[in-house]
Amino acid sequence: MKLLKIENSGGHFCLESGDYNPIDKISKDDLLRLVNATLSEESVEFDAYDENLIKNHAHQVIYKSIVRKLQSLRERRQEFVDESARLFLEDYEKYRTSTEG
């Protein structure tokens, strides 16, 4: 699934529907959905940032920031999964101990 792409001299992000919107129209909810997809989907893609392909300066700034953060998150994906499992296990153990007593 391609989450971010460069097309027609601008940056675009993938909507839930699979369509794309200009990157400068991204909302908080859109960002959260992209983060969740980056962590949960097996295969996600992003067009590499290239300022020569993005002519709109606002798109350059926004796209560059988002693609770097999502790529970093993708690289650390297993770390997030392991941390979530560890936190869940700690809470589960506390709950189990309190219900046994």
Q: Where would I find the H helices in the chain?
A: 28-40, 57-75, 77-100
H/E stretch holding 10: strand 10-14
What crossing angle do the helices spanning 77-100 and 57-75 adopt, rounded to 10°?
50
**Overall pTM surpassing 0.85 (yes/no):** no
pLDDT, tens digit only, all 101 positions of the chain: 999 999 999 999 999 999 999 999 999 999 999 999 998 888 999 999 999 999 999 999 999 999 999 999 999 988 888 888 888 888 778 887 777 65
